[in-house]
Amino acid sequence: MRGFANLMARGRDCCEVTEDAVDMQAGTDALLVVRAQLGERPALHELVNRWHEPVSRYVRSMVGRSGAAQDVSQEAWAAALRALPRLEQPERFRPWLFTIVRRAVLNHLRDRYAEPAAAESTDAGSADEVAAVLDRAQVAEGLAAMPAAERDVLTLFYLQDLALEECAQVLAVPVGTVKSRLHRARRMMRDQLVRKGYTHD
Amino acid sequence: MTDHLDRLLSGMSLHRRIAQTCTGLAGAAGAAVVATLWATEPAGLPVRTQAAFAVLIMIGLGWAAWAGWVWSRGPVFALDRVVAGWLGVVACSITAAGTVVIAAARGKIGVTIAGAVVGIALIACAGRVLTRARAHRARLLRQRTELEQPSPTPEEPR
């Protein structure tokens, strides 16, 4: 069994990339955003296609693999597309999008915490589905048991590859707070995984 | 992509937007013309005719309100704004001309002047909306051109 350090490193590395590649991705997004703002529907479709899966993944990690995750994703996309023509900095599309998605997630969680019985049944259903990739499944397992704030920052930083500054923008907190939350979240995740039998190696 | 997203995106197509805009403008223009006809009737109209005119005006305004509601709910892209701006200018011009011609033909000077003043104001508003929409689109086109140009590779230090 791979150790926790390995897991987290791979979580950050597996779909990630050099700074140049991130810049190139931001440039591609910026061009797609401007074309979409101009009214080019193919560009709008391409933009949604590019970000549909990352958004779904983030929402699933926050609300569980239930039908609710799909509803939250749809709500987030509707809000994002409505606001897209007003986005003034196209190169900041990624943190802007995740700010909107996070708002939709928080709205959902607020509603769900107001109905504890419904929330329990939703979570029970999600435990049966196992992620296809082992590393992601292990991280997702650890994430599910974490408090929302720590789960949020781990998901954005490790699974969505947002930079510290972008995480800070999405979470609306200073970069220092992101770092301290990440530190705390990593410790909690490590403790959880160690309790479940994963080793440190 | 999910079916819902597909539906969401198809609801934003340009031809749908044009259809919605035309519906709203036609409703508003129809309501204005019927109101002018009603206001310039030389003799008092029967109650049933007045009721019919009122219903027609309400229907026209209802379509205009519906179009406004649809526009407020979805994203408004630059091209949509320009197309809607042109449609607005054309619709305002036709409506203003029709209103003035009807009022003048019936010899109602007051209604003619009022129609002309309101018509010119509406055309000016529509023209301003169109100008701003075109400026916004031009800015985005410049931005697109800049983004499409390959970024220069940094020179290696000697």
Condensed to tens digits (0 to 9), the pLDDT of residues B24-56 reads 999 999 999 899 888 888 777 888 999 999 999
**Smallest Cβ distance to B148: which of A31, A81, A83?**
A31
Is there a contact between A39 and B80 if contact means CB atoms under 8 Å apart? yes
Interchain contact A84–B (C-beta under 8 A) = yes
| Residue B100 CA, distance from chain mean position | 20
pLDDT tier for residue A131 given thresholds of 50, 70 and 90: very low
Whether residue B151 lies inside any domain: the answer is no
What's the rounded Cα separation, in Å, for the pair B8 and B24?
Answer: 21
Is there a contact between B5 and A41 if contact means CB atoms under 8 Å apart? no
Instruction: Specify the pLDDT at position B71.
Output: 87
Whether residue B153 lies inside any domain: the answer is no
Whether residue B154 lies inside any domain: the answer is no
Is there a contact between A37 and B78 if contact means CB atoms under 8 Å apart? yes
Interchain contact A41–B (C-beta under 8 A) = yes
Give the number of other Cβ atoms within 10 Å of residue B44's Cβ.
Answer: 8
pLDDT tier for residue A98 given thresholds of 50, 70 and 90: very high
ipTM computed for the complex: 0.78
Whether residue B20 lies inside any domain: the answer is yes
Whether residue B155 lies inside any domain: the answer is no
Range of the domain at B136: 2-146
Whether residue B158 lies inside any domain: the answer is no
Among A148-157, A191-200, B38-47, B106-115, name the one with the lowest average pLDDT: A191-200
The three-state DSSP-derived secondary structure of chain B is: CCHHHHHHHHCCCHHHHHHHHHHHHHHHHHHHHHHHHHHCCCCCCCHHHHHHHHHHHHHHHHHHHHHHHHHHHCCCCHHHHHHHHHHHHHHHHHHHHHHHHHHHHCCCHHHHHHHHHHHHHHHHHHHHHHHHHHHHHHHHHHHHHHHHCCCCCCCCCC
pLDDT of A194 higher than 80: no
Domain total of chain B: 1
Whether residue B56 lies inside any domain: the answer is yes
Instruction: Specify the pLDDT at position B83.
Output: 94
Whether residue B157 lies inside any domain: the answer is no
Which chain A residue has its CA at the smallest distance from B142's CA? A34
Give me the residues of B, 118-137, that contact A with CB < 8 A: 137
Among A3-7, A99-103, A109-113, A180-184, name the one with the lowest average pLDDT: A3-7
Sign of CA dihedral A55, A59, A62, A65: negative
pLDDT of B152 higher than 80: no
